[in-house]
Amino acid sequence: MLHRAIKMMSVTAAHDAWSWTQRGHGHDAHCRIKIWQADGAMKAHWPGLQRYISVRRWGTRGAKVFDHTTYYISSEASSAWWLAQRIRGHRRIENTLHWTKDVVLHEDGCGLVDSQAATTLALIRNISFNLTVMAGYRSISAGIGAMGENIATLWAMISQPGKKTG
């Protein structure tokens, strides 16, 4: 019901809008955020609801053309620019941390069904990710490759976190 209401609202004139362009890493993307004030009926059904939000992203990724709209809701009665900064910040986390954990550390493909084992392995992945960042590596793959068998450096980072190791 909420998704349908947001899509219906998105054909009306927006309360506020803001656009930006992102270039790099093989893509050229144009983005447009539009926001609408939630009406009384929706606020009654979802207490705290203030804004409906749509973010349209279109452009090219490599040779592929894309055009996708994502819908959000917010309890913040803020401007399109402010909400865009928050959405972009969330996507930055998704595109760096979670992508790295999925692709480099193979988190999604581990196949563990025991929840305790999966939790332990996730903790080890988080530690390895953080240690490579602490050591100054911008590439997690390079950090793991360089430090993977360097137990002395790893132990120094864990046991003396404020001390330079390299």
Secondary structure, 3-state, 61-130: ECCEEEEEEEEEEECCCCCHHHHHHHHHHHHHHHHHHHHHHHHCCCCCCCCCCCHHHHHHHHHHHHHHHH
* 109 falls within a domain: no
Residues 42 and 84 in one domain: yes
Q: Do the domain assignments include residue 41?
A: yes
The 10s digit of each residue's pLDDT in 51-103 is 989 999 999 988 899 999 989 889 988 899 998 888 877 666 566 666 677 77
- Residue 10: per-residue pLDDT: 77
Same domain? For 8 and 89 the reply is: yes
The more confidently predicted of residues 129 and 25 is 129
Residue 110 lies in a domain: no
Prediction pTM value? 0.58
Question: Is residue 165 in a domain?
Answer: no
Q: Using one digit for the tens of pLDDT, what is the confidence trace for 98-148?
A: 667 777 777 777 777 888 888 888 888 777 777 777 778 777 777 777 777
| Cα–Cα dist 66/18, whole Å | 20
C-alpha to C-alpha distance for 65 and 81, rounded to whole angstroms: 26
Q: Does residue 92 share a domain with residue 22?
A: yes
Q: Flag whether 164 is in a domain.
A: no
Do both 122 and 59 map to the same domain? no
Domain with 32, as residue range(s), is 2-103
Same domain, 84 and 122: no
